[in-house]
Amino acid sequence: MDETSKPWEKTFIVLILILWSLTIIPIIQFVSSSNNINNIDLEELNTSFRGLRYNENGHYFDNLNSNNEKFIEIERKCFRETFKIDSNASDHIYVFSGSSMVTPFCEKKYIPLYLENIFEQENNQSKKVYNLAKSGARSTSIVKSLNKSINMEKPEMVLIYSGHNDHFESHNIIRDELDLLENNLIWYLYRKTFLSGRPNHEIEDLKRNTITPYLINLGMSVGIIDSEKVYDIMNLVNENALDSYKTNMEKIVEITERKGVETVFITVSSNLKIRPFEIDYDFVNETSRDDFINYRDRGFEDLNKQNYEQAIENFKDAEKLNSKNAMIHYKKGLIYEELGETDKSLRSLRIARDKDDFSYDVRAKSSINNFIRSLNGSHVTVVDLKKLLKEDNNKLLFKPDLFDDWVHFNSEYNEIIAKKIFKGLEESSMVN
């Protein structure tokens, strides 16, 4: 550099170099992370899911025996809950689930407690309902804990409500593989500057649920990320979630059939009004992408103007070009609801849920409930919540205010669900 250069010129050059580095380095990091996604070995990835299937070790509760008495202790979010297991358990019901049966957290307004009250008030039967659910429990840990508990004392009946955590855990396995922000300079500076002081889980939710899907979409749209590879990855994740769930549920049937315990499987419910993240997987060519965007945007415009019939036609045309887009199905579901076509609305909203792989709390897909409905055995009963909730003119399936989030019911809905479960037991002759 010329010794006669002025100080401000040196400062200017340094600033240019810094800005250049802040631009080029994150781009290089983004391209490198994108290539990591493109190079994921699906066969190797498939082996990562083996731990989701049943094995003989581990359960999620503590059992304590003292003075010939048996107890089960489960750690809740705000307290430990202890259940005394009576030696005569012929009128006892064990409930196994994830957090759906223990929310609202820190309040004892659980579905199993409502169910116990219903037995007493409506059926004049004294049933002890043991809430052996555990927040975060997936089917693998449920089958282990069920096996341990019925070996302590055989109950009259077990209720199983499970499925969401299996999808959530399967998707958790792939999150790190899809992380485009790991060690990214811009993300580091943004986090330190604008997100300082925010809880880590909120920052991770923002990264995982909003920024990462957006960046994957961006990468696919400019051709850096192979959209077919992303689609294959998500399909593999969902297939493994279902396969491991099937293995574990069939193991539960095997255990309870051998023990002669009546087993009730309950189909899982979720908030269908959760807005999915829009991922545009693949198009035949750029023209079809442009046409899709055109139809989609015209559909959005018609929807905002409440031109519902025209919006539906535009969304249908967009769907022909990209049926994998969850947002198109979601918008169709909302329109059909406005038009009073509830069956079409529910069908579209469920398709949107099934195609949404990037929401934080990945909701169980329809394939889980379809499998539950197929379960059978001499001691197996299925309570179909979808069917029971539809009896109320579908209104309960459309009320997002009855959920605290994606999958957790609030206390008002807990009581409704308990009544529906009881009705399902009555219809299946499980209640005297």
Q: Which domain holds residue 326?
A: 286-355
Identify the helix (H) or strand (E) that includes residue 162.
none
In a domain, 291, yes or no: yes
Q: What is the mean pLDDT of residues 141-168?
A: 90
Per-residue pLDDT of 306-359, as tens digits, reads 999 999 999 999 999 888 889 999 999 999 999 989 889 999 999 999 988 876
In a domain, 330, yes or no: yes
pLDDT at 257: 93
The 10 Å Cβ neighbour count of residue 411 is 16
pLDDT at 268: 94
pLDDT at 314: 97
In a domain, 381, yes or no: no
In a domain, 318, yes or no: yes
The CA-based angle 63-64-65, given to 5 degrees, is: 125
What residues are paired with 158 via a beta bridge?
94, 263
CATH for 311: 1.25.40.10
In a domain, 329, yes or no: yes
pLDDT of 384 higher than 60: yes
Number of domains in the chain: 1
DSSP secondary structure code for residue 6 in this structure: -
In a domain, 294, yes or no: yes
In a domain, 152, yes or no: no
Residue with tokens 């379809």: 370
| Backbone phi, psi, residue 396, to 5° | -75, -20
In a domain, 10, yes or no: no
Q: What is the mean pLDDT of residues 59-71?
A: 60
- Identify the three-state secondary structure at position 199: coil
Per-residue pLDDT of 96-123, as tens digits, reads 999 999 888 777 789 999 999 998 887 6
pLDDT at 2: 53
Angle of the 366-374 helix axis to the 342-355 helix axis, nearest 10? 110
Give me the chain's average pLDDT, please.
84
Residue with tokens 């908030």: 271
Reported pTM: 0.85
pLDDT at 81: 75
Per-residue pLDDT of 169-179, as tens digits, reads 888 888 878 88
